[in-house]
Structure 1
Amino acid sequence: MKSNYLLAILSAFLLWLAWPPIPYSAILLLVAFVPFLVAVEQTLRGNYKNKGRKVFALAFLTGVIWNTASIYWVYNAMNAFLDALPSFLISLIPYTLAPLLMACAFRLYYQMRKKNNILISFMGLASFWIAYEYLHQSWDLSFPWMTLGNGFANSHQLVQWYSITGVYGGTLWIWLCNICFFLLYWQMKNKVAAYDNRILMGTAAALVLIPSLGSIIWYSQYEEHVNPSEIVTVQPNIDPFGKWGSITPEEQLNILTTLSQKVAKLNTEFFIWPETAISDSRGINEEEFREYPQYKKVLEFLEPYHNGNVLSGIESYTIYSDQRTPTAKPLGNMFYDSFNAGVLVDGSSKLQFYHKSKLVPGAELMPFGSALAVLKPFFAHFGGTTGGYGSQEKPSVFYSASGIGAAPVICYESIWGNYVAEYVKMGAQFIAVITNDGWWGDTSGKDQHLLYAKLRAIENRRWVVRSANTGISAFINQRGDIVQKSSWWVPTALSQEINLNEELTVYTRYGDILVYLSFVTGLISIALLIVRKRN
């Protein structure tokens, strides 16, 4: 059994080695699970007791090592706020939760293998895995950072077909290749021929070459429709840990406007400022924002730019006469909601607000309400609010006076392909990601967050303009190429002419079809389990 655990560790190492931001290694994902599948098969065929538990343990071990090595920066961020022990305990949630779900998928696979042939069981495994990934982006503890399809973010030339399938197409591709290579290896090693090795070799070659070569051809031939718009993105580089103490809101706004003016042109149409760029010591009342000096400063800044708009992050709140939302908190005889929000300011008196929907569990959202209320003091230190932020259910598009639609995607939301696609379906012609990213320090977290935005560009064939407080800010074209990017932890502004797009991709129109298909095959697999068990 010891050798099986070593094989599981080997798979974890290959998965980490293939994961962004390590360059030129994503192709390893197509074989990274093979050692682990060998370990599982040897366990199934071995003379062991409690085989199901051993399969679960192997999967959990692989998942924990892979996740911890790839998102170690979660602990790094927590440790900046808390002592070592609380930081470690909270970090265990993202380090172990996904591996637990992964292990459950393999436990179900084990049950199928006892009653069904290996191909039907593998169909169930792929379905259970995709179902786990979808669950992990849909519930209160959502953290889809480690969805397998994200692994190609650093090799976007290979996955241009994400404009049809989204990242779940990548997940399915990875599993099909790993299953095929595993069958080929197992048969050759054990000198059996349950399936013709020549067919397996041909299938494996086709699975690798057809999607990748087809994508490379698509990438090389893709041309953007010319519909130019001049955009500026700003990186003020304000230390997030001292943002509400060592620097005043007025000083922050002066930095933003000064940097913007250095690269702006008279025909600049959008200035993109990062998450919480507009703030006040007590937050900004959305109903009264026009009375704030910050609003007047933005209007003054926009005067030379006749078609100019400022799309910025803002810390805001709204006051209610009653508790009309679950997150509303008492304020005397009234109630209020705090928002991590976006705002669009133009030369008129019109204001457009968007309230971040995909909230970070713990920091911005208390998962499962009162069930985890004991953790509120810890989460409050992570830049959040113990009562939770308010939010809106659906995305909304900011429209300029000239009719250009922009998607105000705030930080963590850029990880959700299906959610970003909703902005585009509603009319967004480019995607603006406003984020902080300074909480993690100079770790791979900021690089992964940048690289994942390339996948949103491909899925929707929209330019992505990224404004990150401390970096990395960037312009990404419709093929997923990073055309310009800033350095980490430097104040700067970038200017770029982008092409707006109004056409909708297959993925934008129909979303995660593969998830729905996997639910069907998953239900079939569960039905087979139940029927065979009764028989």
Structure 2
Amino acid sequence: MKNNYLLALLSGFLLWLAWPPFTYTTPLLFIAFIPVLFALEEIMRGEYKKKGKKIFLTAGITCLFWNTASIYWVFNAVNEIMPTVIAALISLIPFGLGAVLMAIAFRLYYQLRKRYSYSIAAAGLISFWIAYELLHQSWDLSFPWMNLGNGFAGFHQLVQWYEYTGVYGGTVWVWLSNLILFQILYTYRLNKGNKIAQKGIIMPLVWLAIIIIPSALSITRYLGYEEHTNPAEVVVVQPNVEPYSKYTTMTVEDQINNLIRLSDSIAQPNTEFFIWPETAISELTNEETIHTSRIFVRLQDFLNRYKNGNILSGIESYLMYDTAKTSSARPLENGMYWDAFNAAVLLENSGKVQFYHKSKLVPGVEKMPFRESLSFMTPLFAAFGGSTGAYGSQAEPSVFYAQSGIGAAPVICYESIWGDYVAEYIKKGAQFVAIVTNDGWWGNTAGKDQHLAYAKLRAIENRRWVARSANTGISAFINQRGDIVQQTEWWTPTAIKQEINLNEELTFYTRHGDYLAYIGAGASFLFLILIALRLKKTKPV
């Protein structure tokens, strides 16, 4: 059993080594699950008691190691605002919960292996894994950071076909490679190196085709892709305001003046968009009376210098209600209610203002997961710095339209992980994606690099430029092929500008979203039925 645990750890290590921010080791994804599959097969064929539990534990070791090694930075971020013990417990949500859900997929795979052929069980494993990924991007504890298809963000030239499949195409690709190669190697092992039957000769060719054909098609598409010329000049600002002490180190006026100074330093008269990061306008602002605020007056004075200029910025805003209009609305002593928002705002030099309220809120930090069921935990989250669902949100994305008619997708931080959500902006008319984020919470860790890399996948899926403004992170411009054309240094106050090409065409993925996820989830129900029926009991072959 000890060797099986070592094999499980080896798979976890290979998955971590293949994961962003690593780049040239990405192809390890095609073989990373082989060791743990050998370990699971050994358990299935061995004289062990409680095999199901051993399968779950062994697979769990792989998944826990991979998750922890790849997203250790979650603990760093939480530990800045909460005691170490509490931070460790909260970090178990992305570390442990994701690993448990992954291990359940392997456990169900074992149930199929006991009763059906390897091919059926392998198809079931792919379906169960996809169902896990869909669940983990949809429920109140959503954290799709570790979806397998995200692993190719480090080597985006291999997945230009994400414009058809999204990241779930990558998930299927990884599993097909691993499961077919495992079957080849295990068959060879059973034959003890003797001459393999005809089927054994065909299968290696199938495996090679599965790796080479999508890669070749992708690289061909990458090299041949040409953007339609439709230019717009965009300035991205990285103010580098320390997030944990932004309200004590600089006044709101000083922060705004810094943003304006950096913008002015490289802007030209024809600049159309100034992209400022998440909560760059840090003064809590009433959306209904913003026109009378001193910040608005200051920003209009800045925009008067740019005829077609627009500021697209993160902002901390709120709305007042007569009644509890939303589930996140909080009562005031005067009988009124109010909602606070992690929002984006578009300011034109004409005085027009548009707001978007972040929808994909971070569980436990920006919202209380399962609010009704876990309402008893509200005092705990409040005591240790969590917002207990303090932020309101909107159900669907909305596009900012500038006075020139250009549509921009205001994607706030965490939302950039959801391919289907970003695609909704594009379907509604967005011609480029503006990601406003604050990656300083994680420090100088892999978190900021992974977040940047994932933005490349959004560019490919929708064939849109991405203008990314990250306070204390890495700001960048990403073209429609997913190439990072410009990027800033970490922890550096600066501004960069780029003439980007707007695009109005919709990709297959933009039009149809995560259809592969729903197909896989639907198939998983069919395999669960097969498990329940127990039509036949066959030994693993």
What is residue 191 of structure 2 aligned with on the other side? 191
Q: Deviations over 1:38-65 (max 9, x none)?
A: 1111110011011111111111111111
CA distance in 1, matches of 2:48, 2:397: 52
What residue in structure 1 maps to residue 502 of structure 2?
A: 500
Partner of 1:302: 303
The one of 243, 248, 251 equivalent to 1:245 is 248
Secondary structure of 1:409's aligned partner: strand
- Segment of structure 1 superposing worse, 367-376 or 522-531: 367-376
Map of 1:136 onto structure 2:
136
1:465 and 1:475 in contact (8 A); partners too? yes
Q: Indicate the residue corresponding to 1:292 in structure 2.
A: 293
Could you tell me which of 435, 449, 452 is aligned with 2:451? 449
Q: Give the aligned partner of residue 33 of structure 1.
A: 33
Matches within 5 A, 1:146-157: 146-157=146-157
Contact 1:362 1:376 in 2 (8 A): no
**Conserved in 2, the CA contact under 8 Å of 1:329 and 1:387?**
no
Given that residues 236 and 468 in structure 2 are in contact (C-alpha distance below 8 angstroms), is that contact kept between their aligned partners in structure 1?
yes
After TM superposition, list the pairs within 5 Å mapping 1:51-450 onto structure 2.
51-191=51-191, 196-280=199-283, 283-331=284-332, 332-373=334-375, 375-376=377-378, 379-380=381-382, 384-450=386-452
Counterpart Cα distance in 1 of 2:117 and 2:277: 53
The whole-number CA distance in structure 1 between the counterparts of 2:475 and 2:386 is 23
Write the distance in 2 (CA, Å) between the matches of 1:339 and 1:38.
49
Verify: 1:18 aligned to 2:18, yes or no: yes
CA distance in 1, matches of 2:148, 2:463: 21
> Identity over the aligned pairs, expressed in percent?
60
Q: Name which of structure 1's ranges 155-164 and 243-252 shifts more when overlaid on structure 2.
A: 243-252
Q: Distance in 1 between matches of 2:529 and 2:91?
A: 37
User: 2:82, 2:385 within 8 Å by CA — same for their partners in 1?
Assistant: no
Q: Secondary structure at the match of 1:12?
A: helix
Contact 2:345 2:353 in 1 (8 A): yes
> Closer, same or farther in 2 for the Cα pair 1:414/1:275, shift >3 Å?
same
Is contact 1:437-1:446 (8 Å) kept? Answer: yes
Name the CA shift for 1:458/1:49 in 2 (closer, same or farther; >3 Å): same
Q: In the TM superposition, what is the alpha-carbon distance from 1:84 to its structure 2 partner?
A: 1.9
2:487 to 485, 488, 491: 485
**Aligned partners of 2:330 and 2:338 also within 8 Å:** yes
Secondary structure, counterpart of 1:75 in structure 2: helix
Partner amino acid for 2:86? Answer: P
Unaligned 5+ runs, structure 2: none
Q: Could you give the per-residue CA deviations for residues 107-140 of structure 1, whole angstroms, max 9, x where no partner exists?
A: 1111111111000111111000000000000000
Give secondary structure in 2 for the equivalent of 1:279: strand
- CA offset at residue 387 of structure 1? 4.1
Q: Deviations over 1:352-392 (max 9, x none)?
A: 00000000001101001143345545645887523421000
What RMSD, in angstroms, separates the aligned Cα atoms of the two structures?
A: 1.4
**Alpha-carbon separation, structure 2, partners of 1:147 and 1:153:** 11
Whole-Å Cα distance in 2 between the matches of residues 383 and 485 of structure 1?
32
Q: Residues of 2 paired with 1:374 and 1:523: CA distance?
A: 34
Query: Please, which moves more after superposition, 186-195 or 406-415?
Result: 186-195
Q: Residues 15 and 29 of structure 1 are in contact (CA less than 8 Å); yes or no, is this contact kept in structure 2?
A: yes
C-alpha offsets along residues 310-356 of structure 1, whole Å, 9 cap, x if unaligned? 00000000000000100000012100000000000001122100000
Aligned to 1:524: 526
Task: Please tell me the residue identity of whatever aligns with 1:453.
Answer: A
Q: Which moved more, 1:395-404 or 1:241-250?
A: 241-250
What is the alpha-carbon distance in structure 2 between the residues aligned to residue 490 and residue 378 of structure 1?
Answer: 36
Unmatched tracts of structure 1, length 5 or more: none
Is the Cα–Cα contact under 8 Å of residues 8 and 61 in structure 1 kept in the other structure? yes
Deviations 1:192-248, CA, capped at 9 Å, x for gaps: 768711111101100110011110111000000000000000000000011122211
Once structures 1 and 2 are overlaid, which stretch shifts more, 512-521 or 28-37? 512-521
Structure 1 pair 160/94, CA: closer, same or farther in 2 (3 Å)?
Answer: same
Change over 3 Å in CA distance of 1:383–1:210 after alignment to 2:
farther
Tell me the TM-score normalized by structure 2.
0.96
- CA shift in 2, pair 1:381/1:413, >3 Å: farther
* Number of residue-to-residue matches in the alignment: 533
User: SS of the counterpart of 1:180?
Assistant: helix
Report if the CA contact (8 A) 2:300-2:351 is conserved: no
Task: Report the CA distance between 1:454 and its aligned residue.
Answer: 0.2
Q: Give 2:491's aligned amino acid.
A: W
CA distance in 2, matches of 1:348, 1:382: 43
**What amino acid is the match of 1:251?**
D
Cα distance, 1:298–1:381 mapped onto 2, change above 3 Å: farther
The answer (yes or no) to whether the contact 2:263–2:495 under 8 Å persists in 1 is yes
Q: Do the aligned residues in 2 keep the contact of 1:477 with 1:483 (CA within 8 Å)?
A: yes
Distance, in Å, in 2 between the alignment partners of 1:382 and 1:343 is 29
- Displacement of 1:534 in angstroms is 8.8
Q: Report SS of the residue matched to 2:503.
A: coil
Q: Quick one: distance in 2 between partners of 1:94 and 1:392?
A: 24
User: Any idea what SS the aligned residue of 2:534 has?
Assistant: helix
Counterpart-to-counterpart distance in 1, 2:202 and 2:297: 70
Change (3 A) 1:498 1:425: same
